[in-house]
Amino acid sequence: MVRLTSRARILASVLLISLLSIVWALVAQQASATSKPALARTTTQTHIYQAFSGSGRPSVRITSILRGSCWSDSLAAGRDDAWRCMSGNYIFDPCFSSPKAQGVVLCVVSPWNRSGVEIVLTKRLPNPYAGRPSTTGLPWAIQTFTGLKCELATGSTTAVGSRRANYGCNSNEWLWGAPLRSSEPWMIYAAAVDAKHLSKRVKIAVAWF
């Protein structure tokens, strides 16, 4: 049996500690890489909202079925298949139609809502359906990387210079003007509705059309 000298035992202990440190560092690095969230997207996603499936079935849960009519294009969603409609004393905007779902429109508050109202039309729609929506105009709704969820306001708001308070959000902030699309991700001004000047810009994660 070989006995190690004191010096050899010390060197062996140092070597063992070094090896354990390396192993621990590798394990910690692997755990960190596994738990680290994916890198944030650097581009703005654009989505065209689909109120109906390809076969004409509603894409959301219907909470009410009403009777009513649509008298103009939607002020919220700039699409050929989006309408401003009324049932009783209530105005719904936007409401969406589909050539596969004749005689009805589907009205939703926002693209992230999973429920909506179906209106059985008592009159024909003002204009015939004219094709697939575009992403060139103002988005109907916007989600920012900071967590804001905002919908285009169809009523009277305010303006700072040439920028209108366009989007009411799920906070005390509004989004002003149109998205700035010259670079990725898109940007847009954000401020309270009573702001006197605009300086803060936020990054747009998703633009809904």
Grade residue 20 by pLDDT with cuts at 50, 70 and 90: very low
Whether residue 32 is found in the same domain as residue 56: no
Tell me the pLDDT tens digit for each residue of 83-117. 999 999 999 999 999 999 999 999 999 999 999 99
132 pLDDT tier (thresholds 50, 70, 90):
confident
Domain boundary among 59, 93, 121: 121
3-class SS of residue 188:
strand
Q: Hey, what are 9's tokens?
A: 């035992």
Residue range 44-72, pLDDT digits in tens: 999 999 999 999 999 999 999 999 999 99
Q: Where are the beta strands (DSSP E) in the chain?
A: 45-47, 61-73, 82-87, 90-98, 101-107, 115-121, 141-144, 149-152, 159-160, 163-169, 173-180, 187-192, 201-208
Confidence check: pLDDT of 19 > 60:
no
Q: Is residue 42 part of a domain?
A: no
**What is the count of structural domains for the chain?**
3
Same domain, 2 and 59: no
Same domain as 65, residue 28: no
* Residue 65 to residue 21: CA distance in whole angstroms: 67
Per-residue pLDDT band for 129 (boundaries 50, 70, 90) equals: low
**Omega of the bond leading into 58 within 30 degrees of 0 (cis):** no
134: in domain: no
Per-residue pLDDT tens for 163-193?
Answer: 999 999 999 999 999 999 999 999 999 999 9
What DSSP designation does 30 have? H
Shared domain check, 60 and 25: no
Residue 195 CA, distance from chain mean position: 24
In a domain, 81, yes or no: yes
Which pTM was predicted? Answer: 0.77
In this predicted structure, the answer to whether residue 1 has a pLDDT above a threshold of 60 is no
Mean pLDDT of the chain: 86
Q: Which H or E run includes 26?
A: helix 6-35
Side chain identity at residue 153, one-letter code: A
The answer to whether position 127 is within a domain reads: no
Host domain of residue 145? 141-208
- Residue count of the chain: 209
3-state secondary structure of 147: coil
CA–CA dist 154, 160 (Å, integer): 17
pLDDT value, residue 130: 62
